Amino acid sequence: MSRLDRIIASGFAAILVLSPCVVRNVYAAEGLETGAGLLITDVTLINQHATNDEVLVNILIRDNKLDIVTEDTIPADRAEVILDAEGEILLGDLKLGEKPDFLILAGDPRDNFELLINAGEHARLLVRDGEIVSSELIANAQTQAASGNDKVQSYSAPPLALATSYQDPTRWNHFDTKYVSGLFNGVVVLDGQHWRSQDAGSTQQVGDLNDFDGSAVRALEIGVAGTINFNNPWQFTVAAADLTFEPGFDGRESDDLQFRDYRVDIPLSQEISLAVGKQREPISHERIMSLARQPHQERSVTANTLLASRNVGVTLSGTGFSRRMTWAGGVFNDWLEDDGSLSDNATQYSGRLTWLPYITDDENSILHVAAGARYSGGEEGFRYATTPGFSQAPDFVDTGPLQADNTMSYALEAFWQRGPFWMGGEYVQTNMDAPALNDPTFTGYHVFASWLITGEVRGYNRRTGVFNPISVAKSVNQNGWGALEAVARWETVDLTDELVAGGVVDIATLGLTWWLTSNAYVSVNYRHIELDRFDLIGTSSGFNLRVLMMLL
């Protein structure tokens, strides 16, 4: 920490101790009592650990307690008094849910140290225990409108509380050197599962599901991600995990930690990058988006059956048309992990193209469409199988080992978001070039609808063509209640065609997720399952309770 850093940091506490003695020269504003709500707009906060780092925020105090500090617009109707700080700097103690003590200076103490020595002469606002002691700020009920986004908005999401780590970036899991910077991360997922019902047909098809009741560690992942600090930094990701968290038709399930990702992303230009290593193939939104960030506990049976989880190779990707379009294509061969040669193992080619036919200025209303394709050689054979969306369950559909010259898969996707509502679906078709099996075709799709009851909006990454994780407006560690999300989904996959009888499964899911923070949630899913296999129709249903925690 520099000398100036130490001065500013110590000044926070010193000014507040001295403030009762120095406010005599500040002219108190008449009639400005905090009451039910005080909104202060356009306040500059300085990072105590890096004084060249600052952020412009809005602050809301309700019932004398700090309610939220946010970079977003706060609706004017949430406050009785609105003051415009005009970008002046705040020094003080801001803890959500507590009575704040702070002052706003007329000037920048980084440029003029006298402001700290004679704070009383330069203070424009003084707040103690959540109440205004004195103020020279302008009270203006129209101020908030001027500080917000002046573009036409389709929906006003709740303001996002400023990250609690803003004033303390020295996190234990972060490292920063001249050549490499990064963050150690991890994920823990705990499940508690109960099969509610099972008829006789289902018992004959898959056995007694009561044997799978109970709790388990669903997933454990540890890793590191960061940058190699060239002039144009490269990004790297290394992660080891229990691979049952990423099931796919080519997944290797194991209770041991294995490398799930090892990749380097190399920027070739502002809009084009090259990814090298083990990674997700570019073919499907559901496959590319992290499972921990999705509204469902598990990916659809279509994705888990017909689409690869991860593969070793290279992907070239980029954007076009002012980032309304993304494109990606890759070549893959997992010989590094199969102890074989390139010629012994199958080579895959996959690609994806996305387009935004409609998007509002504030990006709260979005129509996304995309198409993908994947070719795979047949050197290693094929097998398509999956559980019914419960991790503790046998495979419900299973083709058994199949031999084919090659396969060709096609994927279509469409999503519509308007404010807190998000809906869409994906369709996948896999054609096998297998004359001995009469060239069977397997298909599947899922459709879903999600509602963020607390009003948050998922952002959209126009660089990758994928919807962003939820940014919880006020998490439980920011004096809030987190976010609540409800979701419904219908999904099906058909693995019975020509001489292959792998089965057909239909699943209806209802779910509710309480996002405590953007990186932790508790969720419950109910699934009703119908299986057509072995000339029988079987039905079953169950619940799964999940607790997920991410260290980022």
CA distance 538 to 202: 4
Instruction: Give the position of tokens 């609706």.
Output: 75
CA distance 280 to 239: 13
> Is the model's pLDDT at 442 over the cut of 90?
yes
The class that CATH gives domain 3-147 is mainly beta
According to DSSP, residue 166 is labeled: T
pTM, two decimal places = 0.82
- 174-211+273-551: what fold? Porin (2.40.160)
pLDDT in tens, 280-313: 999 999 999 999 999 999 999 999 999 988 899 9
How much is the pLDDT for 107?
84
Domain map (residue ranges) of the chain = 3-147, 174-211+273-551
pLDDT (average), residues 508-530:
97
* Partners of residue 492 on adjacent β-strands: 445, 506
Which residues are within 8 A (CB) of 130 and not within 5 positions of it... i.e. 6 or more apart? 34, 61, 63, 64, 65, 66, 99, 100
Asked if 3-147 and 174-211+273-551 have one fold, the answer is no
> Is the model's pLDDT at 153 over the cut of 70?
no
429 contacts 462 by C-beta, under 8 angstroms = no
286 contacts 248 by C-beta, under 8 angstroms = no
> Is the model's pLDDT at 431 over the cut of 60?
yes
pLDDT in tens, 320-362: 999 999 999 999 998 877 766 777 889 999 999 999 999 999 8
CA distance 491 to 419: 24
Give the lowest-confidence range in 320-334, 419-433, 470-484: 470-484
Give the 3-state secondary structure of residue 218: strand
Residue 402: pLDDT band (50, 70, 90) is very high
CA distance 343 to 360: 49
pLDDT in tens, 229-274: 999 999 999 998 875 555 555 554 555 668 888 999 999 998 999 9
